[in-house]
Structure 1
């Protein structure tokens, strides 16, 4: 009996051990999923009935997922089916420069408001951004440019289903998806992030000589965001045929933003106010990161202050004249050891010499909101888009009587000491000379974009 009892205990221990191993594998897979911006977990949370109730019936088509597309939100989305075909599709689309719905809403004018939307893989957030855009006054006069760093047919179908204004898609051609085993993706011979310098030299990994300011080596999933932002801006201002003579504003949004219905009205007020009273205000900003919102006090209030990356990077707009100033100091952006595009732009702003730092005019009552619970820097365990979106919807519903002010009142501030402090060194992640060279080369491409891929 003791021997049988011992055997039984042993079997139980083996089973428990196997169970522990299985749990670890599942946790690893879950962690891997979160590395893809929490997309899998987020998309499990379907749009709630409460959120749908606040969306006009005719716009539900942008939110409801057809059953056949369920796998589009699963882990299958992480693995490209055919890299060569995706590269060719991207090249064809970028060459074509198709503007959807142009026959309905007319061609792009020199003063058309262009809305540039940076898209990764978070389709749930993107659906809600599109719904918010669809409800905005005068949206039919704009051009939406969706800039993608991941080629996905479900996302493409969603974007091309937009019928309320002109739409264009552009595709970042140097993505991790299209370069999975080579730079700018992850080359097998690249140095791991935490390799010590001497060990990297001994191992002779590709970028051994170029750790960042903190002694770490590049991580492609982080460098891609800055590359994509820079490529997108260059593409819109320098390369598209429809923007050759464009002098209007370009408003920069991201897939996890949400706009108020009067955001274009407010942008026009900011432009008129800046033209008349603040010619030094080069950047206009519709979004702020406030914790509480008092629209009865601030709906028609704007602030003029030095531009700061962490406060004024959401819903910001500028024109070709400002872009020319950025281009004149592009080395300050591309060579700065920071993987964040906004901190790199802040560094550029602080190093424009006699021109001085960017001044921004921003809404005290924001018209652009951040709804992303999951992303590059946000890995919450409960990534329920509906919770945050519901709060923003109710906020705007409550504030509806304070929207569309006839004029705005501006106050001038000089920012706090923290926000005026000179950046001494960046956040790192951008020490690799290949990243700096790729960034610089993007500004050297002419309006006729060079061929990126070989067949």
Structure 2
């Protein structure tokens, strides 16, 4: 693989933004549309289960599924190619460590080992010897890629996607190991209506409250919505979009 050519090829593909099944489902992104954004790696089994849950969702046929890749294999692409229940846009992280063997942003040959003491790292003069993290560990490419890819895909959707200027579009952000209840998209649409009527300043939905549990059966509390503040150190927001993040709770 030509390392110099790889990011150029990926950029060209990303710029095209080809929509699979676009004509089949007559895709139209409107202010009340939901876009599902999934960060996909190489876990084929969980990806298949996730897609099966998408297939069962009401309104999935009018929902754009954006798949963001950081691992490139025929097996992964064949699974995505088999999707026949909704429009699909694939985007490709251009700095995947799979392509950068032995050089940054992959694992450089002179990188400090994760658990090497700082004094020993300074003796070896390995990369970033003076800058371990707060837990005194040195950089591991496989972990930093997750964070870099996470930010890259959000920036791409918010700043470069063909629907970036459509106001009110709701982005449901998922990792590839989340399984959706069949009413997820339906419930998001209902929450948008409720927000417009009762909480115009609400910018984010958190799907699932794990901090406070109830002894009541699921059907009795499945329609509950809690209004609260959300803080995660650094808040990423965009005025014209509503971002749903499943990692955090309120």
TM range (shorter): 0.7 to 0.9
Cα displacement (A) at 1:295: 1.7
Q: Normalization by structure 1: what TM-score? A: 0.48
Report how many aligned residue pairs link the two structures: 240
Does the C-alpha gap of structure 1 residues 148 and 280 become closer, same or farther in structure 2, counting only changes over 3 Å? same
Does the C-alpha gap of structure 1 residues 83 and 289 become closer, same or farther in structure 2, counting only changes over 3 Å? farther
Does residue 1:307 correspond to 2:236, yes or no? no
| Aligned partners of 2:168 and 2:240 also within 8 Å | no
Q: What is the CA–CA distance in structure 2 between the aligned matches of 1:153 and 1:253, rounded to whole Å?
A: 22
More helix by share: 1
Match of 1:238 among 159, 170, 183: 159
Does the C-alpha gap of structure 1 residues 123 and 202 become closer, same or farther in structure 2, counting only changes over 3 Å? same
Does residue 1:113 correspond to 2:34, yes or no? yes
Which position in structure 2 is the counterpart of 1:277?
198
1:109-160 Cα offsets, whole Å, 9 max, x none, are 2422110011111111111111111111111111000011101111112112
| Aligned partners of 2:96 and 2:145 also within 8 Å | yes
1:352-374 Cα offsets, whole Å, 9 max, x none, are xxxxxxxx7xxxxxxxxxxxxxx
Does residue 1:259 correspond to 2:180, yes or no? yes
Cα displacement (A) at 1:86: 6.3
| Aligned partners of 1:250 and 1:319 also within 8 Å | no
Cα displacement (A) at 1:324: 10
Q: What is the CA–CA distance in structure 2 between the aligned matches of 1:163 and 1:206, rounded to whole Å?
A: 47
Query: Which secondary structure state, in structure 1, belongs to the residue aligned with residue 51 of structure 2?
Result: helix
Say which one has the larger Rg.
1
| Aligned partners of 2:57 and 2:185 also within 8 Å | yes
Does the C-alpha gap of structure 1 residues 244 and 296 become closer, same or farther in structure 2, counting only changes over 3 Å? closer
Does the C-alpha gap of structure 1 residues 286 and 211 become closer, same or farther in structure 2, counting only changes over 3 Å? same
**Relative CO higher for 1 or 2, CA cutoff 8 Å, sep ≥ 6?**
2
1:155-213 Cα offsets, whole Å, 9 max, x none, are 11211221111101011111211112111110010111122222222221121122112
Cα displacement (A) at 1:102: 1.1
| Aligned partners of 1:271 and 1:284 also within 8 Å | no
Of the structure 1 ranges 155-164 and 287-296, higher mean CA displacement relative to structure 2 is found in 287-296
Query: Which secondary structure state, in structure 2, belongs to the residue aligned with residue 243 of structure 1?
Result: coil
| Aligned partners of 1:146 and 1:170 also within 8 Å | yes
Which position in structure 1 is the counterpart of 2:74?
153
Cα displacement (A) at 1:308: 5.7
Please list, as runs of the form range in 1=range in 2, the aligned pairs for 1:129-168 lying within 5 A after superposition: 129-168=50-89
Query: Which secondary structure state, in structure 2, belongs to the residue aligned with residue 233 of structure 1?
Result: helix
Does residue 1:100 correspond to 2:7, yes or no? no
| Aligned partners of 1:160 and 1:167 also within 8 Å | no
Cα displacement (A) at 1:260: 1.2
| Aligned partners of 1:181 and 1:188 also within 8 Å | yes
Match of 1:184 among 87, 105, 108: 105
1:4-37 Cα offsets, whole Å, 9 max, x none, are xxxxxxxxxxxxxxxxxxxxxxxxxxxxxxxxxx
Match of 1:294 among 213, 217, 220: 217
Which position in structure 2 is the counterpart of 1:172?
93
Match of 1:321 among 235, 239, 244: 239
Cα displacement (A) at 1:293: 7.7
Query: Unaligned regions of 5+ residues in structure 2, if any?
Result: none
Q: What is the CA–CA distance in structure 2 between the aligned matches of 1:256 and 1:206, rounded to whole Å?
A: 33
Query: Unaligned regions of 5+ residues in structure 1, if any?
Result: 1-81, 310-317, 326-341, 347-359, 361-414, 416-455
Alignment RMSD: 2.8
Query: Which secondary structure state, in structure 1, belongs to the residue aligned with residue 153 of structure 2?
Result: helix
1:209-254 Cα offsets, whole Å, 9 max, x none, are 2211222211111111111110010000101234343531111011
